[in-house]
Amino acid sequence: MTHQRGTAAITAALAVVAAVMLGSRTTAVLAAAGAPEKGKTFETGGVSIYYEVVGGGSGAPLVLVNGGPGFDHAYMHCSDAWDRLAAKRRVVFYDQRGNGRSSEIKEGQSCLLADQIADLDALRAHLGLEKVDLLGHSWGGYLVMAYAARHPDRIAHLIIVDSAAPKIQDTVFLFKNIYPETSAREDGLAFAVELGDEAAISADLREYLSMLFYSPAARDAMLARSGELSFHQKVNKSVWNDLQRFDLTPELPKFGFPTLVVTGRFDFNVAPSVAWAIHRAVPGSELAVFEKSGHLPYCEESAAFASRVEEFLAKR
Q: Cis link prior to 180 (omega < 30° from 0)?
A: no
74 vs 232: CA distance, rounded Å: 13
pLDDT digit string, tens, across residues 174-217: 999 999 999 999 999 999 988 878 888 888 888 999 999 999 99
303 vs 311: CA distance, rounded Å: 12
Q: Is 12 exposed, middle or buried (0-12, 13-18, 19+ CB in 10 A)?
A: buried
Q: pTM for this one?
A: 0.90
In a 13 Å sphere around the CA of 172, the CA atoms on its Cβ side amount to: 15
- Per-chain mean pLDDT for the chain: 88
Q: What is the pLDDT of residue 129?
A: 96
Tell me if residue 66 falls in helix, strand or coil: coil
pLDDT digit string, tens, across residues 132-165: 999 999 999 999 999 999 999 999 999 999 999 9
Q: Name the E strands within 66-115.
A: 89-94
Task: Tell me phi and psi for residue 26, to 5 degrees.
Answer: -125, 150
List, as one string, the DSSP characters of 231-293.
B-HHHHHHHHHHHTT---GGGGGG--S-EEEEEETT-SSS-HHHHHHHHHHSTT-EEEEETT-
